[in-house]
Amino acid sequence: MKTFYLKSLAILEEASNELNRVDIELIDGLIINREDENHGWIVEAYIDKDYNSYFINLKEQGKVMIEVKITSEHNEPATMIAEIIGMNELGKEINVLFRGKIVDERKERIEKKLKELIDQGYQGDQLLEKLKSSI
């Protein structure tokens, strides 16, 4: 297992076919790559108790989409499909535990673009060049 510092956390909520981003103000947090056969991750967010009812409602929804940054604000965010597996009150704060998997949006975008180009009749070297210029 590898452990990283959790730099930011956002909840991505779907509303009217759009994703709304809810940034969560962290007190502290960490993220663990479990390095298991399911490619699972554990996220622990240590936050103000004011978020308690929000996360109770999220937990009842089951799977949620979250976006995390590790180590530095300058790193690219990783999007995960996760579920809340635990919540604990710690004085004026709470910790929220997520278990999830990273969603590789870049791979999906590339596959979608590749299919579009193939459908447009591109093949071979021409397909490769067109794909490179469109990513």
| CATH number, position 58 | 2.30.110.10
Together in a domain, 97 and 38: yes
Q: What is the pTM of this model?
A: 0.74
The two tokens of residue 91 are 């004085």
Together in a domain, 15 and 37: yes
Is the confidence at residue 128, as pLDDT, over 90? Answer: no
Number of other CB atoms surrounding residue 82 within 10 Å? 24
Share of the chain above pLDDT 90, in %: 53
Together in a domain, 77 and 50: yes
Together in a domain, 98 and 116: no
CA dist 92 and 50 (Å) reads 9
Query: What are the angstrom distances between the C-alpha of 1 and each of 4, 36, 40, 110?
Result: 10, 8, 10, 29
Reported as a single tens digit per residue, the pLDDT across 62-82 is: 999 999 999 888 888 888 999
Query: Would you call 24 helix, strand, or coil by DSSP?
Result: strand
Residues of the domain holding 14: 2-103
Together in a domain, 54 and 114: no
